[in-house]
Amino acid sequence: MNIRNHLIEIQCNHRDINDVAQALIHSIIFFRTHGKFNYKHEGSYSIGTLGYERAFCDQFDLSYIRCSSLSLVTRINNKIQEFVDRITEFTHSGLLTLEFYTKKPSRWPFNDSKFVWEMWNIKITLIQPQASGLSPTQGASNPQQPLAINNQYNNPDGPYHSNHHHQYSHRNSESAIKLEDLISQKLLDIVRIANSEKCILPQMPTQPNLDTVFDTSFSDLQPYLYNISYRISETAPGSHSVIGGMSTKYGGDGGTVADTAQSSLKKFLLGTLEL
């Protein structure tokens, strides 16, 4: 299965990063999650109802749909907060990567092989304080053919419409409104991509192999196995450095496919040498 790569680019202020990342990551994972599988016998199963809820951004007037599982929401938000906490005054941009993959059990002493089938890269470029009045740049997501979208995503009362009113008087500026519009468009892009006929999902596994395709650690739902990692680019006067973020896969070990393979090989070779 070929890896499908999707790029989403956003330019925003530091205070908006958490909202932006949560809205995008939660929306993607929502479309890559099923209700809990219940097997009657091999080859016969039912899929439970997937609970969902409407979430609201803290810094601007925007709402989106996410899974209503507290444990899943907490895991995702903790990883995003880890990313946000790494942002400093010298940070130029950050890249959040969301990978969906399947596992193939490997013989000892190697770790299970990971095969990524879909990757989402969310690049967030920070607007410097002196340029806070700039409008958000129109980021380009992965090109897709126009698809029909359910009316709930177009009508004024739909879940992706910015009609929830908090205390946003301090953000009532042209740049804030453009950021809201931009994120709304990105959420619609996610709907188009996730529901595209070109998005071929992994085959449903047999019961013994369920955890090679889905994360079965949750009691109320089953997302496809996924991994969230990040990179942060920092620019200091007279120098440029890139800080690599830790990679975490919920329910198992982290790292990219290459990292996992190299780590397993090193452990095997070191063990052999010690003998």
In the chain, where the domains are located: 4-274
Res. 40 pLDDT band, cuts 50 70 90: confident
Place of tokens 């979208």: 149
Residue 217 CA to residue 102 CA, distance in Å, equals: 15
Place of tokens 């070191």: 270
pLDDT at 93: 94
pLDDT of residue 249: 31
Residue 214 pLDDT class (50, 70, 90 cuts) = very high
Quote the pLDDT of residue 26: 98
- What percentage of the chain has pLDDT greater than the value 70? 68
**Average pLDDT score, the chain:** 76
In this prediction, residues 13-38 reach a mean pLDDT of: 95
DSSP H helices in the chain:
17-30, 70-85, 174-194, 257-274
Check whether 193 has a pLDDT greater than 70: yes
Beta bridge partners of 102: 115
What percent of the chain has pLDDT above 90?
49
Q: Which of 73-77, 181-185, 239-243 has the lowest mean pLDDT?
A: 239-243
